[in-house]
């Protein structure tokens, strides 16, 4: 067999093509109500004027993503009309002709190109050891597989049906640009995350890091903040970029005076503390504790069964409701908890930025913190933590350990999303494949390196602090995931 050229990247298109072809095989697999959601949005953006987009409610699946995503659907709808015009009629609820299914599935596969491009950029940033190395053992190769063939993305995007790959592409691209140290570009891309307000989870990381590293042009010798190096010009540049993207996105709606309506659609607090399927976060544990106490209370005759509210959290319904024994949780409580949980990470990154990888860790911690304590969190949100963690996992042994636990439990928590018997072998086998690969590849990758060498560039104690923080959150996550199995 010909010896591989050291700098050849021919394996990357092979991986990308392979996973794209695999995605095509799932075209006729089960799809969830999210399929109808997106078809409805195609119909709304195509058939109705902009002023009606956020008011339309013929279907129960109202537009609840930010305007940039609505423009994206508008763009897609122009291609959709060549496949089947009937899908663009708002009245055609639950319309799913073969052409509709084909178009929607292909649109996800096609827009994943953004994700593929972002993964390639991330792979380029990964530190590699010099010298000839077996391709399969290179950090960039392992990272490419862990990202491109990520089990969570595959089943959520290509079976359940969503556009996460497309959206995560922008997130990863901005992360990659941070790692490549390209200031202006990454600022632009950070704002693209406006596409989905779920990225508010990680907004603090971006905000604080950019403020700290971009607006303060220099650090003191020991890495602490140098107040004198503050550049108002850069702050204005940052503010104007963010402002202009927001203006572009929300502008038309502000002009029409629809901002409150848009915001109420984007942040539907009436949907309740937990989603229909519980995300494995703190509130899941809280709910279980409440239920246990109720049962105990009834058994010990401390509570009257008749007085307890009837609403069942596990009924699969999306609604607000009250806890029986423990105090009820309001959105403001969750906000406070979330902010408290990410405070250490944010403070640390302000104090000692630690470069692009410090930013990445902070992003990770913000994502995990928001996941653990947020209001109405979806299970899929764990992917915001898993994907960036992959980058750290191929570079550091400790992170790899955390990654393996987080992905295995996180991906397993996504199982209830695909509940049809026909798709059971697919999700089981894909999960098994990902577990086998991630364990064997990461173990082989980190077997030869010592921990000290890899930790050198990040600065010892802050890294340790971040890692402990991550481990604590991870610990809670596992507990929540396990307990949610018993609900």
Partner 1 sequence: MQTWSLVSLCVLLGVVVRWGVSLNSYSGAGRPPMFGDYEAQRHWQEVTYNLPVQEWYLNTTDNNLNYWGLDYPPLTAYHSLICAYIAKIINPEWVELHKSRGYESPAHKLFMRATVLVADLLIYIPAVVLYCLYLTDGSAKKKVSTLFCFLLYPGLILIDYGHFQYNGVSLGFALWGVLALGLGWDSLGSMAFCLALNYKQMELYHALPFFCYLLGKCVKLGLMGRGFFLLVRIASTVLVTFALCWLPFLSDPSRALQVVRRIFPVARGLFEDKVANTWCSLNILIKIRSILSSDSQIYLSTACTLLAVLPSSVRLLTKPTFWQFKLALANSSLAFFLFSYQVHEKSILLAALPVCLLLNDLPLVAIYFLQVSTFSMVPLLLKDGLLVPYVVTSLAFLFFGVFLLSALEHCSEEELRLGAYHKLLFCLPKLDMACIVRWKFYISVAVMAGLSFASVALVPPPHLPDLFPVLVSTTAFLHFFGTFLYFNVVQFSGPPSRKSQKKKN
Binding site for partner 1 (CB under 8 A): 1-2, 10, 14, 17-18, 21-22, 24-29, 136-137, 421-422, 425-426, 429-430, 432-433, 436-437, 440-441, 444
Contact 124, 140 (CB under 8 A): yes
User: Residues 6 or more apart from 470 whose CB is under 8 A from it?
Assistant: 361, 364, 365, 368, 402
CB of 134 to partner 1, least distance (A): 8
The burial of 450, by beta-carbon neighbours within 10 Å (0-12 exposed, 13-18 middle, 19 or more buried), is given as: exposed
Q: How far is Cα 442 from Cα 138, in angstroms, rounded to an integer?
A: 10
Q: Between vectors from CA 147 to CA 170 and to CA 377, what angle results, nearest 5°?
A: 65
By beta-carbon proximity to partner 1, the closer residue of 123 and 245 is 123
Q: Is 95 helix (H, G, I), strand (E, B) or coil?
A: coil
By beta-carbon proximity to partner 1, the closer residue of 17 and 326 is 17
By beta-carbon proximity to partner 1, the closer residue of 11 and 465 is 11
By beta-carbon proximity to partner 1, the closer residue of 27 and 276 is 27
Contact 368, 476 (CB under 8 A): no
CB of 299 to partner 1, least distance (A): 40
CB of 421 to partner 1, least distance (A): 6
Q: How far is Cα 252 from Cα 275, in angstroms, rounded to an integer?
A: 31
CB of 1 to partner 1, least distance (A): 6
**Tokens matching residue 237:** 């540049």
Q: Is 216 helix (H, G, I), strand (E, B) or coil?
A: strand
Distances (CA, A) of 323 to 230, 258, 271, 486: 48, 34, 15, 19
Per the listing, tokens 């999960």 go with 431
CB of 204 to partner 1, least distance (A): 39
CB of 136 to partner 1, least distance (A): 5
CB of 22 to partner 1, least distance (A): 7
CB of 427 to partner 1, least distance (A): 10
By beta-carbon proximity to partner 1, the closer residue of 3 and 306 is 3
CB of 120 to partner 1, least distance (A): 18
Q: Of the candidates 189, 129, 159, 144, which has an alpha carbon nearest to the alpha carbon of residue 14? A: 144
By beta-carbon proximity to partner 1, the closer residue of 24 and 247 is 24
Q: Of the candidates 442, 381, 366, 356, which has an alpha carbon nearest to the alpha carbon of residue 176? A: 356
User: Residues 6 or more apart from 16 whose CB is under 8 A from it?
Assistant: 116, 148
By beta-carbon proximity to partner 1, the closer residue of 43 and 142 is 142
User: Residues 6 or more apart from 265 whose CB is under 8 A from it?
Assistant: 54, 62, 63, 64
**Tokens matching residue 133:** 């190395």
By beta-carbon proximity to partner 1, the closer residue of 116 and 481 is 116
By beta-carbon proximity to partner 1, the closer residue of 17 and 302 is 17
CB of 21 to partner 1, least distance (A): 5
Query: What b/e sequence results for 265-283 when a residue is b if at least 16 CB atoms lie within 10 Å of its CB, and e otherwise?
Result: bbeeeeebbbbebbbbbbb
By beta-carbon proximity to partner 1, the closer residue of 17 and 311 is 17
Q: How far is Cα 90 from Cα 63, in angstroms, rounded to an integer?
A: 12
Q: Is 274 helix (H, G, I), strand (E, B) or coil?
A: strand
Rg (CA), the chain: 23
Q: What residues form DSSP beta bridges with 219?
A: 225
Q: Phi/psi zone of residue 43: left (φ > 0), alpha (ψ -120 to 50 degrees), beta?
A: alpha
By beta-carbon proximity to partner 1, the closer residue of 26 and 216 is 26
By beta-carbon proximity to partner 1, the closer residue of 244 and 440 is 440
CB of 234 to partner 1, least distance (A): 46
CB of 312 to partner 1, least distance (A): 29
């Amino acid at each position: 067999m010909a010896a591989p050229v050291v700098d050849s990247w021919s394996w990357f298109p092979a991986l990308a093509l392979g996973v794209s072809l695999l995605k095509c095989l799932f075209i006729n697999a089960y799809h969830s109500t999210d399929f109808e959601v997106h078809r409805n949005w195609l119909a709304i953006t195509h058939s109705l004027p902009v002023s009606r987009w956020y008011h339309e409610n013929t279907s129960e699946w109202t537009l609840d993503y930010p305007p940039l995503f609505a423009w994206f659907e508008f763009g897609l709808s122009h291609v959709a009309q060549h496949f089947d015009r009937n899908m663009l009629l708002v009245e055609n609820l639950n319309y799913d002709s073969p052409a509709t299914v084909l178009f929607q599935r292909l649109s996800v596969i096609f827009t994943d190109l953004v994700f593929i491009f972002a993964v390639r950029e991330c792979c380029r940033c990964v530190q590699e050891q010099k010298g000839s190395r077996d391709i399969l053992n290179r950090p960039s190769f392992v990272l490419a597989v862990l990202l491109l063939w990520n089990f969570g993305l595959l089943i959520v995007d290509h079976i359940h049906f969503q556009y996460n790959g497309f959206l995560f592409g922008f997130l990863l691209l901005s992360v990659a640009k941070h790692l490549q140290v390209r200031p202006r570009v990454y600022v632009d891309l950070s704002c693209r995350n406006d596409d989905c307000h779920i990225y508010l989870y990680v907004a603090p990381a971006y905000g604080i890091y950019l403020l700290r590293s971009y607006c303060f042009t220099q650090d003191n010798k020991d890495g602490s903040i140098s107040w004198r190096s503050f550049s108002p010009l850069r702050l204005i540049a940052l503010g104007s970029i963010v402002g202009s993207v927001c203006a572009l996105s929300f502008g038309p709606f502000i002009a029409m005076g629809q901002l409150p309506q848009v915001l109420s659609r984007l942040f539907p607090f009436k949907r309740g503390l937990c989603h229909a399927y519980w995300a494995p976060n703190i509130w899941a544990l809280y709910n279980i504790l409440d239920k246990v106490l109720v049962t105990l209370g009834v058994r010990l005759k401390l509570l009257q069964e008749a007085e307890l509210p009837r609403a069942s959290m596990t009924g699969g319904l999306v609604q607000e409701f009250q806890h029986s024994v423990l105090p009820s949780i309001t959105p403001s409580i969750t906000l406070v908890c979330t902010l408290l949980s990410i405070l250490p990470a944010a403070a640390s990154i302000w104090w000692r930025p630690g470069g692009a990888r410090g930013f990445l860790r902070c992003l990770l911690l913000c994502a995990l913190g928001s996941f653990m304590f947020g209001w109405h969190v979806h299970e899929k949100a764990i992917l915001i933590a898993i994907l960036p963690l992959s980058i750290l996992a191929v570079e550091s042994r400790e992170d790899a350990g955390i990654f393996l636990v987080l992905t295995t439990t996180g991906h397993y928590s996504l199982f209830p999303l695909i509940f049809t018997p026909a798709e059971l072998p697919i999700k089981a086998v894909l999960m098994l494949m990902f577990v086998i690969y991630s364990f064997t590849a990461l173990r082989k990758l980190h077997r030869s390196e010592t921990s000290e060498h890899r930790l050198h560039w990040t600065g010892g104690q802050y890294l340790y602090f971040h890692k402990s923080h991550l481990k604590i959150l991870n610990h809670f996550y596992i507990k929540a995931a396990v307990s949610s199995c018993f609900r």
